[in-house]
Amino acid sequence: MPGTLTSPQLTAADRCGAGARVRAVLPTGGELLFCGHHATEHADRLREMNAVVSESEPAI
């Protein structure tokens, strides 16, 4: 279903172009896609910003 975060279909991360594993939706309505490494690196700041963070399921 479009617009839902329950099963995000992620592609490339915004920061480095690696496979996106994490989607962060900002309170202002923006959206960022991160690889696992950069999501961990920026996790504290995302929490401070009250971003809604969801992680995709690992590919099988």
Q: Which residues, including other chains, have CB under 8 Å from residue 42's CB and lie 6 or more apart?
A: 34
More confident residue, 7 or 34: 34
**pLDDT band for position 58 (cuts 50, 70, 90):** low
DSSP class of residue 15 equals T
Q: What are the start-end ranges of the E strands in 1-60? A: 22-25, 31-34, 52-55
Q: What is the pTM of this model?
A: 0.74
For residue 29, which of 48, 50, 6, 11 has the smallest C-alpha distance?
A: 50
**pLDDT band for position 11 (cuts 50, 70, 90):** confident
The pLDDT of residue 55 is above 50: yes
